[in-house]
């Protein structure tokens, strides 16, 4: 995602179902059907957006940015670390209710067993203000650059849910 961000690509559909793991433990992002390059903010009809992965500002304005992808990444972290694999906001089935709750500030709680560093990252990605969310470059540097054991745990968890 740091690479896509550096190339000004907004994925707009960053979900667990669009992440594949190679035999070399490299995560591959798929389904670029909604993505755009060279645009920092774009409109998308709300009906096409995966609401469980959409940040509050997009729910309000239908505008997407790189920080929208960061929000989706945080929701994906929740899914990967939850035991057993759990749909985000599973207790809220009505999209209208879910939209209202997210706009009111409701956030996912990090799952039990998630390492503290991943909990910290997940919570930062769910910041109400996009400006307070880290960039993918920052995520890569701080959370995966030096702490290889955290990345190994992350990949190991992906294998357990697949």
Q: Contact, 97 vs 77, CB < 8 A?
A: no
Tally of structural domains, the chain:
1
Query: Which residues have a Cβ under 8 Å from the Cβ of 106 and sit 6 or more positions away?
Result: none
- DSSP class of residue 108 equals P
CATH number of the domain where residue 130 is located: 1.10.510.10
131-149 pLDDT tens trace: 999 999 999 888 777 555 5
Per the structure, the complete domain to which residue 36 belongs is given by 2-161
Q: How far is CA 15 from CA 91, 147, 162, in A?
A: 19, 24, 14
Q: Does the pLDDT of residue 162 top 60, yes or no? A: no
The answer to whether the predicted template modeling score (pTM) of the entire model surpasses 0.75 is: yes
Residue 13 bears catalytic tag: yes
Which of 13, 69, 91, 131 is the catalytic position?
A: 13
Tokens, residue 144: 């995966």
16-64 pLDDT tens trace: 889 888 888 788 899 988 888 876 566 665 556 688 999 999 999 888 8
């Amino acid at each position: 995602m740091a690479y896509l961000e550096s190339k000004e690509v907004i994925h707009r559909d960053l979900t667990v179902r669009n992440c594949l793991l190679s035999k070399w433990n490299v995560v591959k992002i798929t389904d670029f059907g909604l993505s755009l390059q060279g645009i920092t903010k774009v409109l998308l009809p709300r009906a096409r957006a995966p609401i469980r992965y959409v940040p509050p500002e997009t729910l309000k304005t239908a505008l997407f940015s790189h920080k929208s992808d960061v929000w989706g990444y945080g929701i994906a972290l929740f899914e990967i670390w939850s035991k057993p694999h759990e749909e985000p906001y599973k207790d809220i089935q009505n999209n209208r209710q879910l939209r209202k709750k997210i706009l009111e500030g409701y956030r996912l709680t990090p799952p039990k067993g998630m390492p503290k560093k991943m909990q910290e990252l997940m919570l930062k990605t769910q910041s109400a203000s996009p400006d307070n969310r880290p960039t993918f470059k920052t995520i890569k540097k701080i959370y995966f650059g030096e702490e290889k054991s955290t990345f190994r745990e992350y990949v190991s968890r992906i294998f357990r849910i697949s």
